[in-house]
Amino acid sequence: MESADVVIVGGSAAGIVAGMTARRHYKDAKITVVRKEKEGQVLVPCGLPYIFGTLGAAEKNIMPDALLSNNKIDLVVDEAASIDRKAKKVATASGKFIEYEKLILATGAVPIIIPIPGKDLENVFCATKDVAYLNGLLKKLAEVKDVVIIGGGFIGLEFADEFKKKGLNVTVVEMLPHCLQLVFDEDFCALAENKLKERGINVKTNAQAEEILGKDGKVRGIRLKGGEELKADLVFFGVGVRPDTELAQKADLKIGETRGIWVDEYGRTSEKDIFAIGDCAEKRSFFTKKPSALRLASIAGSEGRIAGANLSGLRRKNEGVIGSFATIIGDLGLGEAGLTEAGARQAGFDFIIGEVTTPDKHPGSIPGAKDLKMRLVFEKATHEILGGQVSGGPTVGEVVNILACLIQNRMKADEVVTFQYGTHPFLTPSPVPYPIVNAAEIALTK
């Protein structure tokens, strides 16, 4: 029987970060990661769409195993089959037993497949994190012409944009009135939809897939609710993920309201020597403290840093998820942190907004400059920043991270107006109408 001070089940973003953090804080601990993926087979989660148009192979989207070996973390390539909480050991599918002092579950999530007729036909795919599977999808894309993507969230749109780069006829089917509606306010959703259409991607909103149609066992089309049929050689499900809690449920750990593994503010499950992090773990909103369905690799990394440091002393707390998103469609960057107007309204906040549009370089005549649109949301009574949305170019991602930092530190509008920043003509907007500061100043006038 093997043993370790720390056993981590799952070797993607959450598990790797937890292991690295544990090593930094507990230098002499024996740390073991148990994962199903063979060496050199762990995919970068956020990079999955870019395998198909930008990278060209799943092998170009791999997290290096040196992240483990360089930190003296042992790797067991096997599947964790069960947990004996009393004996404090993990049993694997191959028959091994590994004893632990502390156990971290980082089992991730699995793609949601809508249970409609035809879902088992050949040429129906989803965003499964498996190298051979995704290379199989890549091969199929070379043989087809018409692709329908079910789901107009981040996953669906990023795959749609990459599939289009291969010259395919791509249609996105979204059941809500707008793509990205769970993340952005309507006018930002419209920017995304217009860019998709500009790139030749068909967008069908207020549309629900009812059946995948087949011929000789292969996809030939899709029928929408109401009877409309769309031609398709391949269908891709991009409707999100659900927590993988099978191992936790078999161990009789508490499951939360959003079907993730229940955890406290330190990352501990209902069994105090077992932690859960990443997509398998339940989240709580930073703003309302209610359960949240947010699942992001960035959140997984943060939770890994919390749990990894808490293994032999509770030193870090999780204050709840803010949600910091960014994506790019063609040359249009879109990002959001915290609450949108719609989200603030739904959460019961009385709020004010400040909005500006300014070039993302200065002067605006510098080559490559794009208009950066920003909307900030502040609580009316306290002036605390609640959220922000941004559209523009590639700088959007780091602008959103700045907003997330302001939100996490509960900065008030006056503090945002006076926060210190650096600028450069090629890298940032002008210091005069600097958009974060300017939007906060405008909000204060209201």
Going residue by residue through the chain, which has 446 residues, state the pLDDT in tens, using 9 for 90 and above. Answer: 899 999 999 999 999 999 999 999 999 999 999 999 999 999 999 999 999 999 999 999 999 999 999 999 999 999 999 999 999 999 999 999 999 999 999 999 999 999 999 999 999 999 999 999 999 999 999 999 999 999 999 999 999 999 999 999 999 999 999 999 999 999 999 999 999 999 999 999 999 999 999 999 999 999 999 999 999 999 999 999 999 999 999 999 999 999 999 999 999 999 999 999 999 999 999 999 999 999 999 999 999 999 999 998 999 999 999 999 999 999 999 999 999 999 999 999 999 999 999 999 999 999 999 999 999 999 999 999 999 999 999 999 999 999 999 999 999 999 999 999 999 999 999 999 999 999 999 999 98
Question: Distance between CA atoms of 248 and 375, rounded to whole angstroms?
Answer: 41
Q: Same structural domain for residues 234 and 282?
A: no
User: Which CATH number characterizes residue 296's domain?
Assistant: 3.50.50.60
Q: What is the CATH number of the domain that holds 333?
A: 3.30.390.30
Domain finish residue from 199, 219, 239? 239
- Residue where a domain stops, chosen among 239, 255, 270: 239
| Token couple for 128 | 């499964």
Query: CA 156 to CA 306: how far, in whole Å?
Result: 30
d(CA 123, CA 125): 6
Task: Judge whether 315 lies within some domain.
Answer: no
Same domain, yes or no, for 329 and 435? yes
Answer yes or no: do 246 and 106 share one domain: yes
Q: Are residues 397 and 300 in the same domain?
A: no
Identify whether residues 295 and 350 lie together within a single domain.
no
pTM over 0.85: yes
d(CA 144, CA 134): 15
Please tell me whether residues 276 and 204 are part of one structural domain: no
Q: Which domain range does residue 154 map to?
A: 113-239
**What is the per-residue pLDDT for 1?**
84
At residue 5, the pLDDT reads 96
Q: Please tell me the distance from the alpha carbon of residue 12 to that of residue 47, in angstroms, as a whole number.
A: 13
Q: Which residues contact 308 (CB under 8 A, 6 or more apart)?
A: 17, 18, 19, 20, 21, 22, 24, 25, 104
Number of domain units in the chain: 3
Pair (359, 388) in one structural domain: yes
Q: Please, which residues have CB within 8 angstroms of residue 258's CB and are 6 or more apart in sequence? A: 243, 282, 283, 291, 292, 293
Same domain, 103 and 246: yes
Of 321, 314, 306, give the one whose Cα is nearest residue 276: 306
pLDDT at position 312, please? 86
- Shared domain for 77 and 179, answered yes or no, is no
